[in-house]
Amino acid sequence: MTPEAGRTAVAVDPRGAVFGLRAAGPAPAAGAADFAWDELLTDDAEAAAAFYAALTGCSIEVIDLQRLGPYRLLVSDGRRIAGVMKHPENLHPHWLPYLGVPDVDAETSRAVELGASLYLAPRDVPGVGRMSGIDDPTGAGVSLMCANDLGATAAV
C-alpha cells in the first residue's frame, strides 16, 4: 500500500506481462508529463485483451492496422483507455507506457541527454500524433507522444 495511491497490487497476466492494480479512487496528481496511454505488446493479443476486459469490465474494440494487424482497444464507459497488439516474436509480453509531452522532439533530445537510449526516432503517426520511443537509463522502455486525441484515437 502506498499512502498517495491507496491499496495496490502487482500481478502477472496469463501471457507473462506484469501489471499493477490500484483501488478505485482519486488518480495520482498530474505532473509536467502525464501518462497518456498504455499499450500491451503480447504474443496472443486476442486472449490478452479478453483477459483484461474480463478483469476490468471493459469492452473490446478492434481496429485494423493493416500491416501491423488488429489493434484491440480496451474501452471503459465509452473511453478508450489502453491498446493491445501482437508484438514481434523476440519480445517478452509487456506493457509500454506513453508519456504525453508538449514537444516530442525536444523531450526526446532531453531524455537522450539525461542518459536514455533512442529506439524509435520521433515520427508522425497519422490520426494519432507525434511519438518517439526510448529506453531510460535503467533499460525500461517508454514512448513519448504529443497526441491529437487519445480518447478518440489509439496510440500505435
The predicted pLDDT at position 127 comes to: 75
Q: What is the CATH number of the domain that holds 108?
A: 3.10.180.10
Number of structural domains in the chain: 1
d(CA 43, CA 55): 19
Q: Which residue, chain included where needed, has cell 495520482?
A: 28
Q: Is residue 48 part of a domain?
A: yes
Q: Choose the most confident range, by mean pLDDT, from 20-24, 27-31, 76-80.
A: 76-80
What is the per-residue pLDDT across 131-154, written as a single tens digit (0 to 9) for each?
A: 999 999 999 999 999 976 444 344
Which pLDDT band, with edges at 50, 70 and 90, does 91 fall under? confident
d(CA 83, CA 25): 23
Cell numbers given for 67: 500491416
Per-residue CA distances from 79 to 14, 24, 26 (Å): 25, 17, 18
> Contact 130/104 with Cβ under 8 angstroms?
yes
Per-residue CA distances from 151 to 48, 49, 133 (Å): 21, 18, 21
Q: Choose the most confident range, by mean pLDDT, from 9-23, 65-79, 111-125.
A: 111-125
- The CB density around residue 147, as the number of other CB atoms within 10 Å, is 21
Q: Is residue 24 part of a domain?
A: no
Q: Is residue 29 part of a domain?
A: no
Q: Among residues of the chain, what percentage have pLDDT more than 90?
A: 57
Cell numbers given for 126: 497519422
Q: Is residue 11 part of a domain?
A: no
Q: Is residue 15 part of a domain?
A: no
Q: Is residue 18 part of a domain?
A: no
Q: Is residue 21 part of a domain?
A: no
Which domain does 70 fall in, by range?
A: 35-147
Q: Is residue 129 part of a domain?
A: yes
Q: Residue 64 is which amino acid?
A: D
